[in-house]
């Protein structure tokens, strides 16, 4: 996966006003920084996805005892 950078715009860039912070991929960020359109602030850190360690348990189904009682009474 390509590295992404947070950049601050120095000019109107892709419809974003001056001073806004956006994310660009590495190649685009370096190219536009060389042209002084943006300033590279920081590299975006990749976050590790958490795996679900516990399986969810379904609730136990309760039987309806009221119908059984009514049928016996009749």
What does each of the 74 residues of the chain score in pLDDT, given as a tens digit? 679 999 999 999 888 899 999 999 999 999 999 999 999 999 998 776 666 555 555 666 666 666 666 666 55
Secondary structure tally for the chain: helices H, strands E: 2, 3
The 3-state DSSP class for residue 33 equals: helix
Residue count of the chain: 74
Q: What is the pLDDT of residue 25?
A: 94
Nearest Cα to Cα of residue 18 among 41, 1, 39, 3? 39
- The per-residue pLDDT for 52 is 59
pLDDT for position 72:
60
DSSP 36: T
Tokens 């590299």 identify what position? Answer: 43
Q: What is the pTM of this model?
A: 0.57
Distance, in Å, from the CA atom of 49 to the CA atom of 16, rounded to the nearest integer, reads 30
């Amino acid at each position: 996966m390509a590295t992404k950078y947070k950049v601050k715009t120095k000019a109107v860039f892709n419809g974003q006003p001056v001073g806004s912070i956006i994310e660009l991929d590495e190649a685009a960020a370096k190219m536009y920084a060389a042209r002084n359109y943006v300033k590279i602030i920081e590299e975006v850190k990749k976050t590790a996805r958490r795996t679900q360690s516990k399986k969810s348990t379904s609730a136990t189904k309760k039987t309806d005892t009221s119908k059984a009682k009514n049928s016996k009474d009749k």
